[in-house]
Amino acid sequence: MSQAVFPSAAAATGAASDPLKVHVSRVVRASRERIFDAWTQPEQMKQWMGPVGWQVPELEADVRVGGSYRIVYRGTPPPAPGEMPKEVSGASRGKYLEVVPPELIRYSWRADWAPGDDTVVTIRLTSVEGGTLVELLQETFLKPETAAQHAMGWNGSLGKLAAFVEG
């Protein structure tokens, strides 16, 4: 299998105006506790994590400050013009920097498809009428193109998360 290169996007819905940051948010019809569990329990994370059309065959997560995680993604991205589609895989890994149930998760992020882009992901869960506002901020990208790819992936992931916890 080849290394993952997630689809590119010039702009993604909900992306922050800073091209080196990704900010996506969504109101999900579920409690903060339900969403926190889905984001911190490995068996639940495997059900929804990753861009649309991608699966997570392997996931390890020790969700505590200083704990580490590793997520393996597998899927078939759209091929470049003239190329045949092929399945690829890639992994992200990092350490948990802050965990405050059920409102905040903050962790480092290193993806093997974006070498050198060591970023930090912050998830904030806020109770709102009708559910929970899920806000994701990923900071310190080196290239706007990588941030745009991650914005597309996170938007898809939040849609999958919503379907998982609302269903």
Segments forming the whole domain that contains residue 157: 2-166
pLDDT(115) > 50: yes
Q: Please report, for the domain that includes residue 71, its CATH number.
A: 3.30.530.20
What confidence score (pLDDT) does residue 17 get?
62
What pLDDT, in 10s, does the model give residues 127-151? 999 999 999 999 999 999 999 999 9
One DSSP character per residue, the chain reads -EEP-PPP-S--TT--SSTT-EEEEEEESS-HHHHHHHHH-HHHHHHH-SSTT-EEEEEEE--STT-EEEEEEEE-PPPPTT-----EEEEEEEEEEEEETTTEEEEEEEETTSTT--EEEEEEEEEETTEEEEEEEEE--S-HHHHHHHHHHHHHHHHHHHHHHH-
Per-residue pLDDT tens for 70-88? Answer: 999 999 988 889 999 999 9
Per cent of the chain over pLDDT 90 is 81
How many domains, the chain? 1
Q: What is the pTM (predicted TM-score) of this model?
A: 0.86
